[in-house]
Structures are given as structure tokens and as C-alpha cells.
Amino acid sequence: MFPAGSIELFAESYPEVPHVLQHRLDADVRLSLDALADLASQLPKSSIEYNRGDLPLGIDGKPDATGLSIEQTIRHIASNNSWAVLKNIEQVPAYRALLLALLEELRPVIEVRTGKMLTPQGFIFISSPNAVTPYHFDPEHNILLQLVGRKTMTQFPAGDTDYAPDEVHESYHLGGPRELPWADHMLAGGTPFPITPGEAVFVPVMAPHFVRNGPESSISLSITWRSEWSYAEAGARCFNGTIRRLGFSPRAPGRWPVDNRAKSLAWRAWRRMAGS
């Protein structure tokens, strides 16, 4: 489902350089609005999130619910000013098969660079015209495939404290929100990646970003995975956040290919001693 040229571009860019790929995933019955409404009914409530679509780029906490059910939200997405995500679609066998088929095409490249592909997960986003996904970051390696409609993802440099301070990283990995503080002056440092059906954008681990829909409703599929490197970076952030609370000023983990295992192992040992 990825042309050879896109695999080559992915190989040149992974894991740190964002880029746009081509894909051939279209007209799959599993990705129609009716099928997605049915998928939502099969997922646990913890795997469903939805709210109004006209959000600011920066938010503090989760926005209010719309009063619609998730099935109503999905089936009438073109007119109800909403945004929805179905999380961990791999919980349903048909969607796990779809996720793994896509990732299998990328596995050789992934495992040469960052080792074994771990924790494959899938997320489906259904959005009304002009909906906004606010500024945030994610802990996974991520490719967002556009299926219906258009959207623009604006990405910011991963690991740059001008866009996500170390303390915010640490708070997130210790259980805090993934939404990030936003200020309008930061916009100049972002790179927009417009994508249409048949295109996809790669997002490096913890690269801050926000998304704006185009004038039509949208369906997108996010395929994600972890690596030992991404888990080590997360563990190092937890370690740093814990000792920062004790009055220290720790050095931030390095980006790829820096090895952050020492702090990650220290964090795991700390948790074992604390019994958590």
C-alpha cells in the first residue's frame, strides 16, 4: 500500500525527519462512516474521544462534550462541528489486520534504524470541516494517512525547548496531559504539511504539532509504533522529572541516535524500589 518511492523516502528520513509519503489505501469498506460508527460501538469508552471541532490551537484540559453520541458524531460529521478519535483500533480483529498489513511494509526500514518494532497501535480521526486538533505531542513514531478530505499538519522541531520545555515533557511522561502551552509567536517556527487523500505525513517521536482540517469533513488513519529508543527516551524523561522534584536540574535526554538507556534503567530501578 506504499509505493516503492515512498518506502525509499521513508528510509532516507526515518526516524527524525518529517516528510510526506504516498499511499494506496482508499475505498476500504472498513473506513466508511457507517463502518467507523460500528467500530466505535465495539470499542471501550476509554478508547473513544470526541468534542466540538472549533477549538483554539492551545487548550487547557479537555474540551466540553457536544451532547451527541459517538455514533451520531461520526455519521453526521459533515455538519455537526465535531472532532473524534477512535483509539487503539487494533482491539478489533479486522482493524488490527489493517494496521499490521500497513506496518509490515515498513518493518524492514524501521528495524534497521531503531530496532524491533514494538507496540503497534492505530487511531482513526473523523473531523468536521475546518476542525482543529490542538497543539500537542505524542510518544510514538507515527504516520498519519489521509483518506477523505484535506488537512494541514503543522509540525515543530522535536526536542526543541522553545516549543516544548523539558518540564512539559517530564510532566507528560509522569502522567500529565499531552496538550502543550501555545503562544502565537511560535507559529513562525512550524512547518506546514498539507495532505490530501493518497498522502501521508510522518511525525517523529514527541514532535509538537497541530492540525487544521480543510473545508470538507475528513477521515485519517494514524499508524504508530514504539522502539527501544523511544521507550528509553520516555524513561529518561520520567527519571529527570522525578529528580527535578528533588531540586536537581537534570540534562535533557538526547535525540536519535543518542542512547538514553542509563537514565531509563535508573528510572525502572527507582520504580521497583518504590514498589510502583
pLDDT band of 26, cuts 50, 70, 90:
confident
Q: Are residues 189 and 238 in the same domain?
A: no
Q: Which residue has the higher pLDDT, 177 or 19?
A: 19
Q: For 214-257, what is each residue's pLDDT tens digit?
A: 999 999 999 999 999 999 999 999 999 999 999 999 999 999 99
pLDDT value at 61 more than 80: no
- Among the ranges given (59-63, 124-128, 170-174), the one the predictor scored with the smallest mean pLDDT: 59-63
Q: Are residues 246 and 182 in the same domain?
A: no
Residue-level pLDDT at 276: 61
pLDDT band of 129, cuts 50, 70, 90:
very high
pLDDT band of 179, cuts 50, 70, 90:
confident
Q: Are residues 126 and 238 in the same domain?
A: no
Residue-level pLDDT at 9: 98
Domain contains 172: no
Residue-level pLDDT at 274: 79
Q: Are residues 52 and 160 in the same domain?
A: yes
* Average pLDDT for 95-113: 98
Domain contains 169: no
User: Quick check: 97 and 170 in contact, CB under 8 A?
Assistant: no
Q: Are residues 186 and 261 in the same domain?
A: no
Q: Are residues 60 and 47 in the same domain?
A: yes
pLDDT band of 8, cuts 50, 70, 90:
very high
* Average pLDDT for 250-268: 95
User: Quick check: 68 and 57 in contact, CB under 8 A?
Assistant: no
| Angle of CA points 158, 151, 6, to nearest 5° | 65
- Among the ranges given (64-73, 92-101, 122-131, 173-182), the one the predictor scored with the smallest mean pLDDT: 64-73
Q: For 144-166, what is each residue's pLDDT tens digit?
A: 999 999 999 999 999 999 999 99
Residue numbers of the domain that contains 257 = 231-274
- CATH number of the domain that 42 lies in? 2.60.120.650
Average pLDDT, the chain: 95
Domain contains 58: yes
Residue-level pLDDT at 266: 94
Q: Which of 191, 91, 187, 202 is nearest to 146 (CA)?
A: 202
In whole angstroms, give the CA distance from residue 51 to residue 65: 5
Residue-level pLDDT at 127: 97
pLDDT value at 273 more than 90: no
Q: Are residues 137 and 256 in the same domain?
A: no
Percent of the chain with pLDDT over 70: 99
From the number of C-beta atoms within 10 Å of its C-beta (0-12, 13-18, 19+), residue 79 rates as: exposed
How many domains are there within the chain? 2
From the number of C-beta atoms within 10 Å of its C-beta (0-12, 13-18, 19+), residue 141 rates as: buried
* Average pLDDT for 156-184: 95
pLDDT value at 275 more than 80: no
Query: In a 3-state reduction of DSSP, which class is residue 147?
Result: strand
| Angle of CA points 261, 267, 270, to nearest 5° | 145
Determine if the peptide bond prior to 197 is cis (ω within 30°): no
Percent of the chain with pLDDT over 90: 92
